Structure 1
C-alpha cells in the first residue's frame, strides 16, 4: 500500500535527470540523501527532496527493473510505501529500538524511531528507494531547472 506525496506536485518527467548527493557524517550511521530533478509540469520548476537519518538507500536502473521490496508500488512520482516489506525486514532483523512487528505482521513504532519508506520512479532512468527516520523535506523552486552540466544547483 502506498500514497503519492504532495498530491502529484512532485511528478517526474521521462526526460528528467536526477542529481543525487549522498552526504555522510562522522560518528555514526547518520547520512542524508538529496535528490534534485525537473518536475513534470507546465511551468518549469526544480524539486529538491532531502531525506535525513537515512537507514537504507538503493537505486535500480530502468533497464534492469527488479524491485525486491514491493514491486507493484511504482509511480513516476514520489510515493511513501506505508506497508513496506523493507520496513518489516528492518523491524524483524534490524537493531532499532522501538521498531517492532505488530500483531498483523505490519510495522509498529513504539520507541524513539519512526521509519519512512519512500520510492521515486523515473521513466527511462530508474527507481530510488530510501528508508529514513524523518519525513522527507520537500522544496519546489518555481521557474528553475537543474543545471545538468555541473551537478545540482545551489
Structure 2
C-alpha cells in the first residue's frame, strides 16, 4: 500500500498477488483509489478490528460498503462542505474495505476505484 498526493488530491494504491485457484497461474491485482478522503488500517495483531465501522462487513476480498457508517459520519458533520476542494457531492462517496489474512483490514473512502490485473512474471511466482 502506498499513497501519493498531488494538487490536493490523494491516491492510494494496493497491489497484491491473486489467482484463480483452479488455474494454477499467478496474477497481480492493482487497486487504485482516487480522491481518497479517509483511509484507515486495522492491524489484526493490535486487536483493533473489533472497532471497525460496519463490523459485519469483513471479507478477505474487496467489499463496497453500501450503508457506510463512515460516510454517514461525513454527512452528519458537514465537514466536506468546509474542507473538500473542490466540493464533494456526498452521494458520490464510496466506502471500500479489503482484508488480508496476514496483516489486517484497510478502509478507504474515495470517489473512484480502478481495478487492473495482469499475469505475474515467472520470477514473481517463485517468490
Give the number of the structure whose residues are more often helix, by fraction.
2
CA 1:145/1:122 → structure 2, altered by over 3 Å: closer, same or farther?
farther
Q: CA 1:126–1:146 in 2, change beyond 3 Å: closer, same or farther?
A: farther
Q: Does 1:50 align with 2:40?
A: no
Structure 1, gaps ≥5 residues long: 1-19, 98-109, 148-154
Q: Return the TM-score normalized by structure 1.
A: 0.66
Query: What RMSD over aligned residues (CA atoms) do the two structures have, in Å?
Result: 2.3
What TM-score, normalized to structure 2? 0.78
Q: Gaps (5+ residues) in structure 2?
A: 82-87
Distance 1:111 1:51, change over 3 A: closer
1:83 counterpart (67, 76, 81): 67
SS in 1 for 2:79: coil
CA distance, structure 2, for counterparts of residue 39 and residue 62 of structure 1: 21
| Aligned equivalents of 1:88, 1:141: Cα separation in 2 | 35
Q: For the structure 1 residues 146 and 81, does the alpha-carbon distance in structure 2 shift closer, same or farther, using more than 3 Å as the test?
A: farther
In the alignment of these two chains, the number of paired residues is 113
